[in-house]
Structure formats: C-alpha cells, structure tokens
Structure 1
C-alpha cells in the first residue's frame, strides 16, 4: 500500500510528471518506504523537497543519507534515484551489482523508460543508503 503524501508540495511535484514517468517514480517511492519499514533502526522517514526533487531520509540523525527521485530531462522518460555524490554509495552498489544498474557518475542510478526496475538489488541499494552512517549494519 503506497504511503500517503504528508506534504502537498511533494505531491505536486509527482503530479506534474507525465503518467508513465510518475508511475515509475511512485514505484521507486514505494520501494523506499517499504525498505525503510523492514529495517527497524531506520525508523520513520522524512519526505520533503530537496533541490525541487522528492527526498527521503531517516528522521533520526546519523542513520542514513538522503535519497532523491526525479525524471531525467531530455531522456525520453528515464528516471533516477539520486544519492549525495560525496558518498561511495553508487560505487558500492555497482561493485555488488556490476551488470544490473546504469548510473550517472557517483550520483545516481538510472532507470530507462521501458526497463523493469531490478527490485531485489535496488532494495539492497536503498537499504545501504538509509543506513549509510551505520555501514556495519548491512
């Protein structure tokens, strides 16, 4: 069951996307909330806008880092899951899953419009982000 929007500004950002892009981004959003719920140490998530993009991070300090979602302009419908480029998350994820994800440098995992999301591997990547400051957890 999708998490209800608590912030009208975040919902407005999702509402402005075309239906196919919005559906893919909402699927990613659901995975973030689902994965957070499976990790007791993460606790509740904050959902807000950061640089105009929907952003998610544990409410408690020093648990994990922010995960953001957005469409990639001019890509024909590709979407991305962004993490801070100052982390090693993208590199760590690509090392674990070298043939699964496309990336945009050190900052994003990219999902083409007609490509299914690799759910199992992405769940692990999301867990790595949401527990980034507690690296020994996973």
Structure 2
C-alpha cells in the first residue's frame, strides 16, 4: 500500500466502515498506479478538498483533481468526483456505460461491497490525471 501523505486523509480512510474500506483503499491505490503507469503524469499530491480525499498532479500539472469518498447517504456505493467543467464524466460514461453509475457531470460510482473494476477505472483515472496536458496538446479524450 502506498503510504499516506497526510494524517488527515489517513483518518478519513480509517473512519470508513469495514465493509467498504477495502474498496476505498483499492480505489486510492488505483490512483497511484494510474499515475505511475501513465506517461507525463509525474508527482501526485494527496490532500483533502471539501473534506474528501483528493489527488492532483503537481509536477507537471497535467491533470484535473480527482476526489473520492463514501457517504452514509449512499452506503452501497463508492464515488469518484471529477471537476464538473471537464468532459471526464461524459467520456467515462461513453466508454463504460454499464460498469459505473453516473450522476450529472461530476460523479461516477461503483458497488462498495466489491473491488472496483480495475482496468476501466484505471483508464478513467489516467484520463483525469492527463486531462490538462491532453487538452493543451489537442489529443482526443480517450
């Protein structure tokens, strides 16, 4: 497991119910794996934004912020949030319409009781981690 960069973020993960903690930790690991496996991503910073674990590229600033969380209001889902002014959710919805539940242009969710769909989710995370660099270069979203 990748060591936590922030005690505050670690406390959020520690507070998840046992039945979803494994999925949330797997999602967190996928962020770091996608970053290390994707050209041009560089260093990823782990922090809290709006009280939720958040991941952003800092050197270079290649991507859009990824937030994640589990809420008791949706106890059966783990959620990933992308900036609402990007096309990331619409791209992921087009690529993987049956693997995730989508809400508007900012949230995608998967079943909390099961491990996340690794390959598809890693692809969506890589798209977020390279969002700005792809937009600058004019490359397609996928």
Change (3 A) 1:114 1:6: closer
Pairwise CA RMSD = 1.6
Q: Which residue pairs with 1:44 in the alignment?
A: 43
Moved more, 87-96 or 47-56: 87-96
Q: What TM-score do the two structures reach when normalised by structure 2?
A: 0.89
Deviation at 1:56, TM superposition (A): 0.3
Q: Which runs of 5+ in 2 are unaligned?
A: none
Q: What TM-score do the two structures reach when normalised by structure 1?
A: 0.91
- The 3-state SS of whatever aligns with 2:85 is coil
Mapping 1:1-138, distance limit 5 Å: 2-135=1-134, 136=139
Which structure has more relative contact order (CA 8 Å, sep 6+)? It is 2
Q: Which runs of 5+ in 1 are unaligned?
A: none
Deviation at 1:115, TM superposition (A): 4.2
Structure 1 stretches of 4+ with a deviation exceeding 4 A read none
Give distance in 2, aligned partners of 1:14 and 1:116: 16
Deviation track 1:82-119 (CA, whole Å, cap 9, x = no partner) reads 11111110001111222222112111111123344221
- Count of residue pairs the alignment pairs up: 137
- The 3-state SS of whatever aligns with 1:59 is strand
